[in-house]
C-alpha cells in the first residue's frame, strides 16, 4: 500500500532524526532554569523567615503562658464566686417558690448539681441537706477555697506593693490572717478554731450579735455564717460597721427561724431574700477587689487588655540618597550622596489589642539635607597684551625701526573653572505614620516587640538650593516648588522597646529602618532617588 | 558520570546534571520538535519550553520504574509540541472533514514511484513542516508516535474520523510532493543506464 510506504519513508528517515539546536537555546534555557532556582531559593528564604517569625511569636505566647500559670488560682476563685452567685440565685428561686417542701428540694437539686457535688466531696452528709443548711456550709467551703486562692493573690499584691510602693499593708495583714484562717479550717472538726480566730479578730462586733439562747446546732451554723461574713469582710476590706451588726442580726434572725426540719424552711422566704441581698452585695465587693488583684499581675492583665494610649514622640533620623548618575552632565562633578538629618515631633495614638498595637500619629518632620557639588564652568578669559608700535625711520640713509608707542591688545583664552558649592536644603513635612506592632516579650517592666508600617509625608514648605546638573545652575527650592515632590510614602520596620514606669505611664524607644518608596525631588534631577536610613524615636505614653 | 547518577542528580535539582542531560538528548528531542513545528525557530522555542517543563516535572520521573529518561522526556516534548501548535498556530480540526473526493486515489500506486527513493532527511522534514498544522500534528502522532486514531482523537479532543481524514489528506499532500522527486530520480537513473 502506498500509504504504508509513505509512512515508512518518513518513519525510517525522520523517526530518529537528530538535529542539534542552536547554542543560544541552551544559554537561554540555563538562564531560565537559574531564574527558577533563584525564585525557589527566595521562596525558601521567605518561608524560613516566616517560620522563624512564627516560632518567635509562639515562643512569646509560651512565655506568656508560663507567666500566667501561677495565676490560675485566681481563676479558681472566680469560679468559686460564680458558683456562689448561682447558689444565691438558687436560694432566691427557692424562696420564691416557697410552697411545697418537695418542690423546693427538687428545685435546689436542679439548680445546684455542681454545688451538691462539691459539698458531697467535702462533707460527710448523713442525710440530704436542705437548701438553707447547705448554703452556709457550701458558701463556707467556697470562702475557704476563695481565701486560699486569694491569699496567693494577696501575696502577689503584697510583693508588688513593696515594689511599687503602694499601700497595701492592711490588706496584706488581713491576707495573712486569712491564710491562718484557711489553714486551720477543716470542716467540721476545726470549726471551733475558726470560731476562736474570728472572735479574736472581731471580738466586739461578734459579741454583740451572738445569740446565747440559740441551740447548739444553731450556734454552730450561726458561727459558720459569721465566719463566712467575717471572711468575706476580710477579703473585700469591708469595714465591720457596714455588715457586722445589722446584717449578722439578719442572718441570726434567719437562723433563729430556721429550724433543722425542712417543713419550716418554707416560711423564711423574706429572710432568704434579705440574705440573698447580703450575698449579692458581698459578691459585688469580691468582684471589685479581685479585679484589682488581677490588674496587679501585669503580664496576665496585658495579655487580654484592649486599651487606648496617647503619647508624644520625638524622632531623629539619618538618611541618605544615592544620586542618579545616569542623569549626570559631564560638566558637573557631583557628590555621591545627599546626607539628610531629620527631626520629628508628633503625637501618637495607640490601640492595644492583646499583643497587637495599632498606632496612628501625626507630627512635623524637618529634614535638613546637605551635599557638595562641583560645577566645571567653561569660560574665556581676556588677556591684555601690550605690543610696541614700530615705525620705520630713515636715519643716515638707513631705514631703522623705531618704537613710537604701545598698543593694548586683548585676547580671549578658554578656561575651565571648577566651582564647588555646599548646598543645603530644609524641607518641612507633615508626617502621618501608621504602624502595626506586636509584642514578643511582655514583662512587668519591659515590653519588646517589632512594628511595621507606612509613613505619609506631606510637604509643608521647603527652602534651600538644588543643583540643576543639566544647566549647571543652582535653583532655589523656595522659588520653584516643582523641584520637590509634595507627597512622599515610606515604609518603616523597627523594634519597639517599652519601659513601664507605672501601670499607666511608659516610655518607648523605637529604632527603625525607613525606606522611601517615592522620590523626593523632581524626576529630572540627579537627586531624584529614594532615600533610606535609620531613625530612632523616643516616646512617652499614657494609657487611658 | 553514570547515566543513572546523572538522572538521579537531575531529579534532585542539580543544574549541572540538567545541562548534561540537555547536551545528551537535545538533538534527538529537537528532531521531534522540528516535526511538529513549521520552522526551525519555532522548533527551538518548542524545545526550550519543553525542557523547562521537563525541569519542572523532574520530580514526577520515577527512576525505578524502568522507564527510560528519553521516552519520558519525549512524551513531555510531544505534549508540549501539541500545546505549542494549539497556542501559536491556532489550527482547527473540522468535524466534517471526512469527505474525501476520491479515497481510492490515495491507495493507488503512483507511476514511477519506488520505495528505494533517496531523498535527504532535510527535504523530508521540510515536506512535513510544510504540511498544514492540523495535518502535520496527526501525521506525526500516527506515523512517528504510533498512536491509533482513537488515541489521537482522545489526545486532540477530536473525533477518530477527523483524525483519519486529516491523515489521509496529509499523506496525499506528501505523496504529491514526493512524486516529482521520484520521477526525476527515475529519469536520471534511466539516463545513466
- The pLDDT of residue A123 is above 60: no
More confident residue, A113 or A278: A278
**Dihedral (C-alpha) A335, A338, A339, A344: value to the nearest 10 degrees?**
170
A18 to B31: CB separation less than 8 angstroms, yes or no: yes
- How far apart are the CA of A54 and the nearest CA of chain B, in angstroms? 28
A26 to B55: CB separation less than 8 angstroms, yes or no: no
- Cα A441–Cα A445–Cα A448 angle in degrees, nearest 5: 30
Would an 8 Å CB–CB cutoff place A127 in contact with chain B?
A: no
- The pLDDT of residue B138 is above 80: yes
Residue A122 burial class via C-beta count within 10 angstroms: exposed 0-12, middle 13-18, buried 19 and up: middle
Query: What is the C-alpha end-to-end distance of chain A, expressed in Å?
Result: 97
Query: Radius of gyration (Cα) for chain A, nearest Å?
Result: 45
User: Which among A6, A13, A25 has CB closest to B47?
Assistant: A25
Phi then psi dihedrals of residue A460, to 5 deg: -95, -50
Residue in chain A closest to B23 (alpha carbons) equals A26
For residue A439, the surrounding DSSP H or E stretch is strand A398-442
Q: 3-class DSSP state for residue A411?
A: strand
User: Which among A13, A20, A24 has CB closest to B121?
Assistant: A13
- The pLDDT of residue A98 is above 80: no
The dihedral through the CA atoms of A300, A304, A307, A311 has a sign that is positive
Q: What is the pLDDT of residues A27-58, one digit of tens each?
A: 888 888 888 888 877 887 888 877 777 777 77
- How far apart are the CA of B46 and the nearest CA of chain A, in angstroms? 10
- Cα A313–Cα A315–Cα A321 angle in degrees, nearest 5: 150
Across A388-406, average pLDDT: 79
Q: Number of A to B CB contacts under 8 A, please give it.
A: 98
- The pLDDT of residue B115 is above 50: no
Q: What is the pLDDT of residues A183-198, one digit of tens each?
A: 444 444 444 444 444 4
B174 to A6: CB separation less than 8 angstroms, yes or no: yes
What does the mean pLDDT of chain A come to?
A: 66
Would an 8 Å CB–CB cutoff place B68 in contact with chain A?
A: no
B27 to A18: CB separation less than 8 angstroms, yes or no: yes
Q: What proportion of chain A, given as a percentage, has pLDDT over 70?
A: 48
Would an 8 Å CB–CB cutoff place A27 in contact with chain B?
A: no
**How many C-beta atoms surround the C-beta of residue A357 within 10 A?**
22
Would an 8 Å CB–CB cutoff place A44 in contact with chain B?
A: no
ipTM of the complex: 0.72
DSSP code of A257? T
Would an 8 Å CB–CB cutoff place B128 in contact with chain A?
A: yes
Q: What proportion of chain B, given as a percentage, has pLDDT over 90?
A: 2
Cell of B104: 481510492
A3 to B107: CB separation less than 8 angstroms, yes or no: yes
Would an 8 Å CB–CB cutoff place B92 in contact with chain A?
A: no
Interacting residues of A30 by C-beta distance below 8 A, sequence separation 6+: B15, B19
Residue in chain A closest to B143 (alpha carbons) equals A7
Give pLDDT, residue B47: 92
Interacting residues of B193 by C-beta distance below 8 A, sequence separation 6+: none
- How far apart are the CA of B157 and the nearest CA of chain A, in angstroms? 23
Interacting residues of A235 by C-beta distance below 8 A, sequence separation 6+: A143, A146, A147, A150, A174, A178, A285, A286, A289
Would an 8 Å CB–CB cutoff place A2 in contact with chain B?
A: yes
A26 to B175: CB separation less than 8 angstroms, yes or no: no
Split at pLDDT 50, 70, 90, the class of B190 is: low
Across A446-472, average pLDDT: 81
Would an 8 Å CB–CB cutoff place A18 in contact with chain B?
A: yes
- How far apart are the CA of B40 and the nearest CA of chain A, in angstroms? 9
Euclidean distance between CA atoms A177 and A267, whole angstroms: 38
* CB-CB neighbors (< 8 A) of B34 in chain A: 17, 19
DSSP code of A151? H
Residue in chain B closest to A1 (alpha carbons) equals B107
Peptide bond into A153 cis (omega under 30): no
* Strand-pair partners of A252: none
Euclidean distance between CA atoms A69 and A3, whole angstroms: 86
User: Which among B47, B55, B144 has CB closest to A11?
Assistant: B144
Euclidean distance between CA atoms A272 and A284, whole angstroms: 18
- The pLDDT of residue B135 is above 80: yes
Give pLDDT, residue A363: 93
Would an 8 Å CB–CB cutoff place B144 in contact with chain A?
A: yes
Amino acid at each position: 500500500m502506498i500509504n504504508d510506504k509513505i509512512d515508512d519513508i518518513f518513519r525510517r528517515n525522520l523517526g530518529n532524526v537528530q538535529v542539534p539546536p542552536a547554542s543560544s537555546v541552551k544559554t537561554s534555557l540555563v538562564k531560565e532554569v537559574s531564574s527558577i532556582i533563584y525564585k525557589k531559593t527566595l521562596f525558601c528564604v521567605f518561608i524560613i523567615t516566616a517560620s522563624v517569625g512564627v516560632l518567635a511569636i509562639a515562643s512569646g505566647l509560651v512565655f506568656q503562658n508560663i507567666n500566667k500559670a501561677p495565676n490560675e488560682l485566681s481563676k479558681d476563685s472566680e469560679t468559686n464566686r460564680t458558683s456562689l452567685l448561682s447558689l444565691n440565685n438558687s436560694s432566691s428561686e427557692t424562696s420564691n417558690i416557697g410552697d411545697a417542701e418537695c418542690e423546693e428540694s427538687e428545685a435546689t437539686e436542679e439548680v445546684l448539681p455542681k454545688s451538691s457535688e462539691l459539698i458531697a466531696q467535702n462533707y460527710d452528709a448523713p442525710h440530704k441537706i436542705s437548701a438553707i443548711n447547705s448554703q452556709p456550709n457550701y458558701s463556707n467551703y467556697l470562702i475557704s477555697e476563695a481565701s486560699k486562692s486569694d491569699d496567693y493573690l494577696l501575696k502577689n499584691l503584697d510583693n508588688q506593693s513593696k515594689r511599687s510602693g503602694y499601700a497595701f499593708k492592711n490588706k496584706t495583714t488581713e491576707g495573712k490572717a486569712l491564710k491562718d484562717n484557711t489553714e486551720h479550717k477543716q470542716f467540721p472538726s476545726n470549726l471551733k478554731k475558726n470560731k476562736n480566730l474570728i472572735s479574736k479578730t472581731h471580738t466586739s462586733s461578734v459579741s454583740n450579735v451572738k445569740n446565747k439562747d440559740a441551740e447548739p446546732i444553731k450556734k454552730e451554723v450561726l458561727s459558720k455564717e459569721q465566719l463566712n461574713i467575717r471572711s468575706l469582710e476580710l477579703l473585700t476590706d469591708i469595714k465591720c460597721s457596714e455588715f457586722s451588726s445589722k446584717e449578722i442580726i439578719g442572718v441570726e434572725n434567719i437562723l433563729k427561724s430556721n429550724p433543722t426540719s425542712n417543713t419550716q424552711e418554707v416560711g423564711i422566704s423574706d429572710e432568704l431574700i434579705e440574705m440573698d441581698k447580703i450575698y449579692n452585695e458581698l459578691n459585688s465587693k469580691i468582684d471589685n477587689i479581685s479585679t484589682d488583684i488581677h490588674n496587679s499581675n501585669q503580664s496576665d492583665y496585658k495579655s487580654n487588655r484592649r486599651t487606648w494610649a496617647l503619647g508624644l514622640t520625638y524622632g531623629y533620623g539619618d538618611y541618605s540618597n544615592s544620586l542618579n548618575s545616569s542623569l549626570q552632565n559631564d560638566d558637573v562633578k557631583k557628590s555621591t550622596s545627599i546626607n539628610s538629618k531629620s527631626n520629628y515631633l508628633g503625637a501618637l495614638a495607640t490601640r492595644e489589642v492583646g499583643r497587637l498595637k495599632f498606632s496612628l500619629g501625626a507630627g512635623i518632620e524637618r529634614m535638613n539635607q546637605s551635599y557638595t557639588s562641583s560645577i566645571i564652568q567653561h569660560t574665556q578669559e581676556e588677556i591684555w597684551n601690550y605690543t610696541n608700535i614700530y615705525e620705520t625711520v630713515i636715519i643716515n640713509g638707513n631705514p631703522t625701526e623705531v618704537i613710537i608707542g604701545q598698543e593694548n591688545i586683548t585676547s580671549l583664552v578658554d578656561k575651565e573653572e571648577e566651582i564647588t558649592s555646599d548646598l543645603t536644603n530644609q524641607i518641612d513635612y507633615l508626617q502621618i505614620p501608621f504602624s502595626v506592632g506586636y509584642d514578643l516579650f511582655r514583662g512587668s517592666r519591659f515590653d519588646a516587640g517589632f512594628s511595621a508600617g507606612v509613613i505619609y509625608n506631606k510637604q509643608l514648605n521647603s527652602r534651600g538650593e538644588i543643583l540643576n546638573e543639566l544647566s549647571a545652575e543652582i535653583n532655589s527650592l523656595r522659588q520653584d516648588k516643582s523641584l520637590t515632590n509634595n507627597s512622599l510614602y515610606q515604609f518603616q520596620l523597627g523594634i519597639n522597646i517599652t519601659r513601664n514606669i507605672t501601670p499607666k505611664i511608659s516610655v518607648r524607644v523605637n529604632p527603625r529602618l525607613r525606606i522611601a518608596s517615592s522620590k523626593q525631588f523632581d524626576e529630572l534631577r540627579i537627586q531624584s532617588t529614594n532615600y533610606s536610613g535609620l531613625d530612632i524615636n523616643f516616646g512617652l505614653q499614657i494609657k487611658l | 558520570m553514570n547515566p543513572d547518577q546523572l538522572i538521579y542528580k537531575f531529579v534532585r535539582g542539580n543544574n549541572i546534571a540538567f545541562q548534561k542531560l540537555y547536551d545528551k538528548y537535545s538533538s534527538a528531542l529537537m528532531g521531534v520538535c522540528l516535526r511538529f513545528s513549521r520552522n526551525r525557530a519555532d522548533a527551538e522555542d518548542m524545545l526550550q519550553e519543553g525542557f523547562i517543563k521537563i525541569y519542572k516535572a523532574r520530580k514526577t520521573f520515577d527512576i525505578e520504574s524502568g522507564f527510560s529518561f528519553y521516552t519520558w522526556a519525549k512524551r513531555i516534548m510531544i505534549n508540549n509540541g501539541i500545546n505549542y501548535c494549539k497556542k501559536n498556530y491556532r489550527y482547527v480540526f473540522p468535524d466534517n472533514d471526512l469527505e474525501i473526493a476520491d479515497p481510492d486515489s490515495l491507495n493507488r500506486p503512483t507511476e514511477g514511484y519506488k520505495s528505494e527513493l533517496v531523498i535527504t532527511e532535510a527535504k523530508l522534514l521540510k515536506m512535513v513542516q510544510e504540511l498544514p498544522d492540523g495535518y502535520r500534528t496527526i501525521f506525526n502522532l500516527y506515523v512517528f508516535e504510533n498512536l491509533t486514531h482513537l488515541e489521537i482523537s482522545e489526545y486532540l479532543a477530536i473525533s477518530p474520523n477527523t483524525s483519519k481524514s486529516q491523515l489521509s489528506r496529509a499523506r496525499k499532500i506528501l505523496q504529491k510532493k514526493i512524486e516529482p522527486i521520484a520521477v526525476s530520480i527515475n529519469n536520471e537513473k534511466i539516463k545513466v543506464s
